[in-house]
A = this chain, B = another copy of it.
Amino acid sequence: MSPHKAPDSSRRSDRSRRAIHDAALALVGEVGYARTTIEGIAARAGVGKQTIYRWWPSKAAVLMEAFLDMGARQAAVADTTGGGGEHGIPDTGDLAADLKLVLRATVDELNDPAIEAPTRALTAEAVIDPALGARFVENLLEPQLQLYVTRLRSAQEAGEVRADVDPRTALELLIAPLTHRWLLRTLPLTHDYADSVVDHALRGLSVRP
Q: How many residues of A contact B (CB 8 A)?
A: 53
Q: Least Cβ distance of A129 to chain B in Å?
A: 10
Do A124 and B133 contact each other (CB < 8 Å), given the known contacts A169-B193, A176-B177, A205-B161?
A: no
Give min CB distance, A202 to chain B, whole Å.
5
Taking the closest CB of chain B, its distance from the CB of A155, in whole angstroms, is 8
Q: Which residue of chain B has the shortest Cβ distance to A126 in the bound complex?
A: B184
The answer on a CB contact under 8 Å between A177 and B185 is no
A204, B207: Cβ atoms closer than 8 Å: no
Q: Verify B202–A173 contact, CB threshold 8 A.
A: no
Among the 9-residue stretches A72-80, A105-113, A134-142, the one with 4 or more Cβ atoms under 8 Å from chain B is A134-142
Q: Is the CB of A179 closer than 8 A to any CB of chain B? A: yes
Are B173 and A207 touching (Cβ within 8 A)?
A: no
Q: Smallest Cβ distance from A121 to chain B, in angstroms?
A: 7
Interface residue A71 (Cβ < 8 Å from any Cβ of B): no
A202 — nearest CB in chain B belongs to which residue? B206
Nearest chain-B residue to A209 (Cβ)?
B208
8 Å CB interface, A88-141 against B: 95, 120-121, 123-124, 126-128, 130, 133-134, 136-137, 141
A175 to chain B: which residues have CB within 8 Å? 180
Partner of A170, one of B136, B160, B172, B205: B205
Cβ 8 A contact of A180, one of B176, B196, B202:
B176
Residue of B nearest to A134 (CB): B185
**Can you spell out 30 A-B residue pairs with CB atoms less than 8 angstroms apart?**
A120-B127, A121-B128, A123-B127, A130-B185, A133-B185, A136-B184, A137-B184, A141-B184, A141-B186, A159-B207, A160-B206, A161-B207, A162-B205, A162-B206, A162-B207, A165-B200, A168-B187, A169-B193, A170-B200, A170-B205, A172-B176, A172-B177, A172-B180, A173-B197, A173-B201, A176-B177, A176-B179, A183-B183, A203-B206, A208-B208
